[in-house]
Structure 1
Amino acid sequence: MKDLFDYCKFGDLNLNSRIIRTGLWESERESSGNLTPEIYNRYENIAASGVGLIITELISLYPRDAFSKYSHTPHFKRFVREFKDLTDLVHVYDVPIFAQLGFVQFNKHAEQNMRVEDLSIEDIRKIQTDFIITCQKIDYAGFDGVQIALGNYYFLTRFISPYFNKREDKYGGSTVNRLRIVLEMIKVIKQNTKLHINVRLNAFEIQSGGMTIDDTIEIAKLLEKHGVDSLQITRPRSPQFFSKDNDRTPSEFTSREIKKKNPLIEESEKIMENVNIPVIMGGGVNNQNQINNILNKSKIEFISMQRPFVADPTFLVEWELKGNGQSKCIMCNNCYWKKTSTCFFPRSCKDKF
């Protein structure tokens, strides 16, 4: 039987568990650089907890992007130095760490929040160049990999979406054309760094005319063909997708019930059937029985968690010691919507749930 604390392989990497910590937003930063002592302490606590892989809070490609003012950015002079200290700290616990890289808005001089179809070829080359240069910095900083943000509604997500991308040149139209901006970047990144490349993808899009699961499968196959090493599957957030029925034991759930309560399982499995690289199922779980049940009643091998690590960076320690663990996170989503790495729900109130 599979267990969330299994030692396992993730491509060429060795993991201490099947749990992938994916970062949200950063909420603190020193004026002279990216990282505070509190940030180093948070990452050390997560690394020491028994996590398999850490993916950082978002590193925003552009400093004027539409994120929290505290988001990490590669434009600080001490970016490589500070993050090298961070990766060295995490590696003490034999935990690999990826840098999450993306942006929401592309701004050019007075033109703000440009649409995909408004970008010139020179603009596309600038985005690609900025990504490649930042990946080289990420490599120098000692990261094991990079996660390219193509999920949710980051700018490159809109680029690969038939709903948003209305271009009529070689960067629009067919799936491979819409993905071309990413495929060209991946080729150069693979040639010039040692990074494991992970791509975060929406399983599908909610809006009519957006990506379907079949589109995502086609994109996943193209990404693998062009050198991507792993995928993380996510979806736009909606409260009805995930059940809060977390008190039942594993024996009380059937495979059909699990997939009904978390449809992302079935979508992730469909993608897994079409690629030969690791696939992470992203989000929506917060207790030990639930995770082990998913692992043993589906093909899922790796599960991402975000909000539980915001509520308590060390919760996996107690889970491994006592079993049948339940996260303190009640999935209120305040940390997500307020774009912060801080839990806003009072701990005393959590004890009532």
Structure 2
Amino acid sequence: MKQLFESVTLNHVTFNNRIIRSDTWEGIATPDGGTTDIGYDIYEELAKGHIGGIITGFTSVADNDFYMGGMMRLSNDSLISQHKKLVDILHATNTPAFSQLALGAFYKKSASGMYHETDINNMTKAEIHEVVDQFITAAVRAEQAGYDDVQIHIAHFFLLSRFVSPVVKY
């Protein structure tokens, strides 16, 4: 138990203790994925609780990810400043900040202009590369916002988990 409250350095990040707040879905972001005052307050309260590090709630890499409402996003450059503010709040208490990057599903726009979720078996090679690029550019934005690192969400039947799940047949 003694080690639980001791600092530790993993790679380039020093944690004040070994208690990490894992990602969750708060559902409080604006429709465009912006961070709200409630969101800033939640993370500030967590950081002031002397937690060792924080992984944000899953943060979508796509503007057109409709999988769950209220998701934060790092899907375009206009959101970087909001994430920087969040990171600054955490870093003010020496709390390392990680952004959990996620994609709920891949949506294609139909001829009618509506988006429809696409089964992974119907994705083209170009669309799969588009998803890869979305994660890369979101990770770059996370770095620009000052996050200490990123975590990739590959669970809960979000898009990436479908590529590795034995439940999904190809």
Provide closer, same or farther for how the CA distance between residues 30 and 80 of structure 1 changes in structure 2, counting only shifts above 3 A: same
Bigger mean CA offset, 144-153 vs 62-71: 62-71
* CA radius of gyration, larger in: 1
One-letter amino acid of the counterpart of residue 129, structure 2: R
Letter in 1 for 2:118: M
Q: Deviations over 1:24-83 (max 9, x none)?
A: 113323567612222212111111211111000111123443443211122465311111
1:135 to 136, 139, 149: 139
Considering Cα pairs closer than 8 Å and 6+ residues apart, tell me whether 1 or 2 has the greater RCO. Answer: 2
Let me know the Cα RMSD of the aligned residues: 2.1
What SS does the corresponding residue of 1:4 show, helix, strand or coil?
helix
Deviation at residue 165 of structure 1 after TM alignment: 4.7
| Counterpart check, 1:153 vs 2:157 | yes
SS at 1:113 equivalent? strand
Residue 86 of structure 2 aligns with which residue? 86
Matched AA of 1:41: D
- 2:60 touches 2:75 (CA, 8 Å); kept in 1? no
Which residue type is aligned with residue 20 of structure 1?
Answer: I
Paired AA for residue 70 in structure 1:
G
Query: Match of 1:120?
Result: 124
How many equivalent pairs are there?
166
Q: Is the 8 A contact 1:97 1:143 kept in 2?
A: yes
- What is the 5 A alignment of 1:243-322? none
Where do 4+ consecutive residues of structure 1 move more than 4 Å?
A: 30-33
Give the SS at the match of 2:109: coil
The residue number in structure 2 matching 1:207 is none
Contact 2:7 2:18 in 1 (8 A): yes
**Distance (whole Å) between structure 2 residues aligned to residue 25 and residue 32 of structure 1:** 16
How far does residue 98 in structure 1 lie from its aligned partner after superposition? 0.6
1:120 Cα deviation (Å)? 1.0
Question: Is contact 2:31–2:69 with CA below 8 Å preserved after alignment?
Answer: no
Q: Deviations over 1:172-192 (max 9, x none)?
A: xxxxxxxxxxxxxxxxxxxxx
Change (3 A) 1:156 1:145: same
- Cα contact 1:26–1:72 (8 A) shared by 2: no
**Distance in 1, Cα, partners of 2:124 & 2:67:** 24
Map 1:226-237 onto structure 2 (within 5 A). Answer: none
Matched residue, 1:59: 59
Cα–Cα, structure 1 residues 102 and 29, in superposed 2: closer, same or farther, change >3 Å? closer
> Gaps (5+ residues) in structure 2?
none
Residue 156 (structure 1) shift? 0.5
Q: Specify the SS of the correspondent of 2:44.
A: helix
User: Does structure 1 retain, via aligned residues, the 8 Å contact 2:26–2:57?
Assistant: yes
Give the whole-Å Cα distance in 2 for the aligned partners of 1:11 and 1:145. Answer: 10
Provide the residue aligned with 1:46 in structure 2.
46
How many percent identity over aligned positions?
28
What TM-score, normalized by structure 2, do the two folds share?
0.86
Judging by fraction of residues, say which structure has more strand: 2
Query: Contact 2:32–2:63 at 8 Å: present in 1 too?
Result: no
Task: Evaluate the alpha carbon distance shift between residue 52 and residue 165 of structure 1 in structure 2; reply closer, same or farther with a 3 A threshold.
Answer: farther
SS at match of 1:107: strand
Structure 1 residues without counterparts, runs of 5 or longer: 167-353
